[in-house]
Amino acid sequence: MAPERPDNLPFWRIWLRARRNLFAALPRKLYRAWLTEVRTPWYSSYMPNQPDLVRRILVDEPDAFPKSEIVRQTIGDLLGNSVFVTNGETWKRQRRIIDPSFEGGRLRETFAPMLKAGHEMAGRMEQLATGNPVEIEFETSHAAADVIFRTLFSQPITTEAATRVFHAFRRYQLAAPMMSPADLMRIPAWFPRLGPSRWKKGRAAREIRRLLMAFVEKRRREIDSGSAPRDLATAIMTTRDPVTGDVFDEAEMADQMAIFFLAGHETSASALAWALYLIANCPDVQDRMHAEAAPVFEGKPSLSDMRRLGFVRDVFRETLRLYPPVPMMIREATCPVQMRDKEIAPGSPLIVSPWHMGRHERIWDRPHVFDPDRWRTEAGRKAGREAWIPFSTGPRVCTGAAFGMQEGILLLGLLAARFRFEPVDGRVPEPMAHLTVRSRNGIWLKVTPRTSPG
């Protein structure tokens, strides 16, 4: 499904479209251009889609292109001083503490709670598998929140406090734009921002952080008493920086828990919902997934069994190409830089867009077509190496990338093994960019149980 792509619009039209849906405001040329200058009355920003330019920003010279302050202004009320928004030595220190908890050995320990959350999700889906329309985004949000709570805190989402965090995150996500008009105008961060959405967003952020701090304080007491379970929260809170010997204090840990929950919940929920929508519209793909996944989930699968889900993996990769949960990443030039024919001034935002890289018409064959088999061709693999960046790349690649892929393949395979999904007439989802790529009008599908091998 190709996105809406207007050609040339005056700035005021782009502004009005962007307030409703950022994707609807993006000009057609972004899907073919290697470097685009986006001018506003206040400054210029740039979107590089040429693979070597993106590599320069993310891989070769990351310190010259740090995270933009716009990111902190947009979601700093929730993420505080977390690894997602920091730069320089602070960021490097945080990564030294966090990264060991997401290495391969640690990830093996997350498989069992992840599988348990998947079976709980399938049980809830059985109650909904009547052939009537189901709002899939709500269900995938529940499942992803359950996964992150089981792996972080060794408890399911069904507890009262966990459920409150889940709903507060939904309110925050709906109220948080990728970039507000005040940020576009570069109004100083200290200047008050008004409006009901900002008020709702701030209230949700405070509630989330208060509840997460309660979990962190409880876990600290358990660590001190020697009764803490072996999970991701314990691993991160007890890991020392190999350079300084420091551990995260409770305030820092609350910041990190906020981004783990955001990354592990919102992004996974978005990707899984779009995957189900795509396969609902491709019955042949869905049947191939079922044939592959059903034998794996007949018994009690292990982590090694996930290697048998090669086609499910390709479906998930193709979903992340078309609907990357984080559609744009904002960096900032720290010094004058030449890119193609543009002289980019210091302080200029550079928007690296997994959304556009994944749909670029000069990189991919049939870029707007859902085709999982492209990943089995040399052309598709080459394009993937150059332009598939749903988890970013380089030093700031998502710490939980392997975790997210494991979760997506497991949950998608389990659902394909047990259910059939079909589109609902007249309910075509409209992708929009909030914190993650969500549907403005929900993703509605009909779900029925599989009663035969086909």
Number of CB atoms found within 10 A of residue 454's CB: 8
Q: Is residue 371 part of a domain?
A: no
Domain span at 209? 65-326+390-448
- Beta bridge pairs of residue 342: 339
- The predicted-structure confidence for 213-267, as pLDDT tens digits, reads as follows 888 899 999 999 999 998 999 999 999 999 999 999 888 898 998 888 877 788 8
What pLDDT, on the 0 to 100 scale, is given for residue 157? 83
Tell me which H or E stretch contains 261: helix 250-261
- Alpha-carbon distances, residue 98 vs 83, 239, 253, 346 (angstroms): 9, 8, 10, 31
Phi and psi (nearest 5°) for 48? Answer: -90, 130
Q: How far apart are CA 253 and CA 82, in angstroms?
A: 8
Q: How far apart are CA 203 and CA 210, in angstroms?
A: 11
What pLDDT, on the 0 to 100 scale, is given for residue 442? 86
Nearest to 69 by CA among 432, 357, 346, 388: 346
Kindly give the residue spans of alpha helices, DSSP state H, lying in 177-249: 181-184, 196-225, 232-238
Question: Quick check: 391 and 404 in contact, CB under 8 A?
Answer: yes
What pLDDT, on the 0 to 100 scale, is given for residue 4? 46
Give the chain's count of helices (H) and strands (E). 18, 11
Low-confidence spans in the chain with pLDDT less than 50? 1-7, 9-13, 15-16, 18-19, 194-196, 452-454
What pLDDT, on the 0 to 100 scale, is given for residue 223? 95
Provide the token pair at 250: 């409770």
Phi and psi (nearest 5°) for 5? Answer: -140, 85
Q: Is residue 291 part of a domain?
A: yes
Tally the domains of the chain.
1
Q: How far apart are CA 236 and CA 435, in angstroms?
A: 25
- Angle among Cα 73, 77, 82 to the nearest 5 degrees reads 85
Q: Is residue 108 part of a domain?
A: yes
What pLDDT, on the 0 to 100 scale, is given for residue 70? 79
Largest CA distance in the chain: 63
Q: Is residue 374 part of a domain?
A: no
Q: Is residue 359 part of a domain?
A: no
What length does the chain have? 454
What pLDDT, on the 0 to 100 scale, is given for residue 343? 94
Phi and psi (nearest 5°) for 388? Answer: -95, 100
Q: How far apart are CA 80 and CA 99, in angstroms?
A: 19
What pLDDT, on the 0 to 100 scale, is given for residue 77? 85
What pLDDT, on the 0 to 100 scale, is given for residue 202? 83
Amino acid at 414: L
Q: Is residue 382 part of a domain?
A: no
- Cβ within 8 Å of residue 440, ≥6 positions away: 21, 429, 430, 431, 432
Q: Is residue 232 part of a domain?
A: yes
DSSP of 58-123, one letter per residue? Answer: III-GGGSPBPHHHHHHHHHHHTT-TTT--HHHHHHHHHHHGGGGSHHHHHHHHHHHHHHHHHHHH
Report the CATH number that the domain containing residue 167 is assigned in CATH.
1.10.630.10
- The predicted-structure confidence for 367-420, as pLDDT tens digits, reads as follows 999 999 999 999 999 999 999 999 999 999 998 899 999 999 999 999 999 999
Q: How far apart are CA 175 and CA 74, in angstroms?
A: 11
Q: Is residue 45 part of a domain?
A: no
- Angle among Cα 393, 394, 398 to the nearest 5 degrees reads 55
Query: Which residue pairs, CB below 8 angstroms and at least 24 apart, start in 184-187?
Result: 184/40, 184/42, 185/42, 186/42, 186/43
Four-residue CA torsion sign, 348, 51, 362, 280: negative
Q: How far apart are CA 85 and CA 398, in angstroms?
A: 12
What pLDDT, on the 0 to 100 scale, is given for residue 1? 45
